Structure 1
Amino acid sequence: MNTLATIEARRSIKHYDPEHEMPEEDLARLIELTKLAPSSFNMQNYRMVVVRDPELRKQIRAAAWDQAHVTDASVLFIMCADLKAHEADPAKYWSHAPQEVQDILGPMILPFYQDKPQLIRDEGIRSTAFAGMTLMLAAKEMGYGSCPMIGFDGEVVSKLINVPEDHVLSFIIAVGKEAKPAWPRGERLSDSEVVIQDRFA
C-alpha cells in the first residue's frame, strides 16, 4: 500500500480481536517508524507509554467511559510530552549535523522556549500529534487498525501511569487487529469551510 492509499484507508477502529497479541517485532517496528515523526529542533519530546498489562488496561477503561477498545486492542499507546526536553544538552539532538549547523541551532533551543510555558506545552502537543499520526499510518500499513482517543479522565489516567510533573498526557491510541470494519466515513466539510486563502476575512 502506498502512502496516499494508506491515508485514504486509515479509519478509527472501535472493535478489536481481544485474543490477538502483537508480536514483539511488530511492536518494535511500529515504535521505530513512529520515532521518524518530525519535532521542533529535533527534540523528539513525545513519550509513548506502551500499556499491555491487562489489569492496568481495565483501570484505564474504567476511566475512559468503559470503551471496549481500551482493553480489546492489542496495545494501548498513551502519548505524553516531556515539557523539559528543551533543557537537554543540544548535542543530544544535533550531534549528527555539521558543526556550523550545531553552532547555530544548539544555542537557540533554550532561549526559544525559556519562560514560555504555553509555547512549551503547545510544542509538546504538536509533537505528540505528529508522532501519533505517524504511528496510526504505520499501523495501517502493517495491517493493524487504530483509534485515537481523548474520551477519558486525564487526571485519573495520568495517576494510573505515573505521569511525571514535568510531562503532560496528550491522548491515547488503541492499536490491534480489526474485529469489525469502521462505521461509514463521515462527509468531509467543504473546501469553502476549511480552506482560507492568504488570510481570514
Structure 2
Amino acid sequence: MNTLEAISSRRSVKHYDPEHRMTEEEIEQLIGHAILAPTSFNIQNWRFVVLTDPELRQKVRAAAWDQAQVTEASITILLCADLNAHLKDPARYWKDAPKEAADILVPMIEPFYADKPQLQRDEAMRSCGMAGQSIMMAAREMGYDSCPMIGFDPDAVAKLINLPDDHCIGFMITVGKALKPAWPRPGQLPLSDVMVRDQFPSS
C-alpha cells in the first residue's frame, strides 16, 4: 500500500475483533515508526503508553464512556507528552548530529520554551498529532485499522496510568483488526472552503 492509498483508506473504525492479538514485534514496529515523526528541535517529547493489560484497559474503557473499542481493539495507545522535555538533557537530542549543528541548536532549546507553559502545551499537542498520524498510517500498511479518540476523562485516565505531573495526555488511538467497516464518510468540505491562497479575504 502506498502513502496516498493509506491516507485515503484510513477510517475511524469502532468495531474490532476482540480475539486478535498483535505480536510484540508488531507493536514495536508500530511505535518504532511513530518515533520517526518530527518534533520541534527534535525534542521527541511524545510518550506512548501502550495499553495491553486487560484489567487496566477495562478501567480506561470505563473512563471513556464505556466505548467498546478501548478493550476490543488489539491495543490502545495513549499519546502523551513530556512538557519539560526541553529541560531534560537536551544535548541527547542532537548526539548524532554534526557538531556545528548541535553547537548552534542545543543552546537554543531551553530558552525557547522557558517560562512559556502555553507554548510547551502547544508543542506537546503538535508532536502528539504528528506521531498519531504516523501510527495510523503505519497501522494501515501493516494491515490494521485504527481510531483516534478524545472521548474520555483525561484526569481519570491520567490517574490510571500514573501520568507524571509534568506530562499531559493528547489523545488515544485504538489499533486492531476491523470486524466491520466504518460508516461512509459523512461529508468532506470542498477545498474552496478550507484552502486559502496566500491570505484570508479582508473583512
Give the TM-score band, short-chain normalised.
over 0.9
Q: CA-to-partner distance for each residue in 1:123-162, whole Å, 9 max, x for gaps?
A: 0110011111000100010000100000011111111111
Instruction: Name the residue aligned to 1:29.
Output: 29
Question: Structure 1 stretches of 5 or more lacking a match?
Answer: none
Taking structure 1 as the reference length, what is the TM-score of the superposition?
0.98
Instruction: Name the residue aligned to 2:115.
Output: 115
Q: CA-to-partner distance for each residue in 1:95-130, whole Å, 9 max, x for gaps?
A: 111111011101000010001000001001100111
Instruction: Name the residue aligned to 1:2.
Output: 2
SS of residue in 2 equivalent to 1:173: strand
Instruction: Name the residue aligned to 1:193.
Output: 193
Task: Give the Cα–Cα distance (whole angstroms) in 2 for the partners of residues 20 and 88 of structure 1.
Answer: 38
Taking structure 2 as the reference length, what is the TM-score of the superposition?
0.97
Task: Give the Cα–Cα distance (whole angstroms) in 1 for the partners of residues 111 and 12 of structure 2.
Answer: 39
Identity %: 61
Deviation for aligned residue 1:197:
1.6
Task: Give the Cα–Cα distance (whole angstroms) in 1 for the partners of residues 164 and 89 of structure 2.
Answer: 20
SS of residue in 2 equivalent to 1:157: helix
Deviation for aligned residue 1:89:
2.0
Task: Give the Cα–Cα distance (whole angstroms) in 2 for the partners of residues 62 and 46 of structure 1.
Answer: 25
Deviation for aligned residue 1:171:
0.4
Count of matched residue pairs: 201
| CA RMSD in angstroms, aligned pairs only | 0.8
Q: CA-to-partner distance for each residue in 1:144-192, whole Å, 9 max, x for gaps?
A: 0100000011111111111110000110100011111111012210122
Instruction: Name the residue aligned to 1:104.
Output: 104
Deviation for aligned residue 1:193:
1.4
Instruction: Name the residue aligned to 2:132.
Output: 132
